[in-house]
Amino acid sequence: MRSVRLVAGRCSVVCFVVALLVIAGRARAIEPFPFDQELILDVRPMAPVKRVPVLSVGTNGRARIDLWCRTANAQVELADRTIRIEPLPLSEALPRYMSEGQCTPERMQADEEVLGMLAQVVTWRAQGSAVVLSGPTTLRFRVSSH
């Protein structure tokens, strides 16, 4: 009878330790979302400007999306590995520092497309120094080193 209690006791301790290790491993595996940092879309710039889309998400869930020509605001909800980005309507105003001809119809269309892709992402994951947003389309953002 005493040996049965010892075996049962050891099993309980071993199970508890294994459970703690699993929980600790999962906690370490889930990297935090890089709030308040510039996330630069990993794409080639569209001529004639070197500007590429940039996403910045605050800890309060408010986001700023600097697109090819225009800027949009959004609300972001994160839970573990899920993400939901709800962009507000795009402003028709162009950035003041852009000179004539920089916002071509192709760049303006690309603004709409990137915003549409961001509105459809459902998961995120860290991948080295990048953040990958996935939905119907996968978007890879590099964390800015500035």
Quote the pLDDT of residue 38. 97
pLDDT score of 17: 41
Residue, of 102 and 35, whose pLDDT is higher? 35
pLDDT at 5: 54
pLDDT at 130: 96
pLDDT for position 22: 46
pLDDT at position 21 is 43
Cis-peptide, bond into residue 34, ω within 30° of zero: no
pLDDT in the model for residue 27: 46
Q: What is the band of 90 on the pLDDT scale with cuts at 50, 70, 90?
A: confident
**Residue 94: CB atoms within 10 Å:** 13
Is domain 38-143 annotated with CATH 2.40.128.270? yes
Report domain extents, the chain: 1-30, 38-143
Q: Any residues with CB less than 8 A from the CB of 105 and at least 6 apart, and which? A: none
pLDDT digits (tens, 9 = 90+) for 5-50: 544 555 554 445 444 444 444 444 578 999 999 999 999 998 878 8
Reduced 3-state DSSP string for 49-80: CCCCCEEEECCCCEEEEECCCCEEEEEEEEEC
The encoded tokens of residue 20 equal 């703690």
Mean pLDDT for the stretch of residues 57-81: 95
Looking at the chain, the whole-number percentage of residues with pLDDT higher than 70 is 76
pTM: 0.76
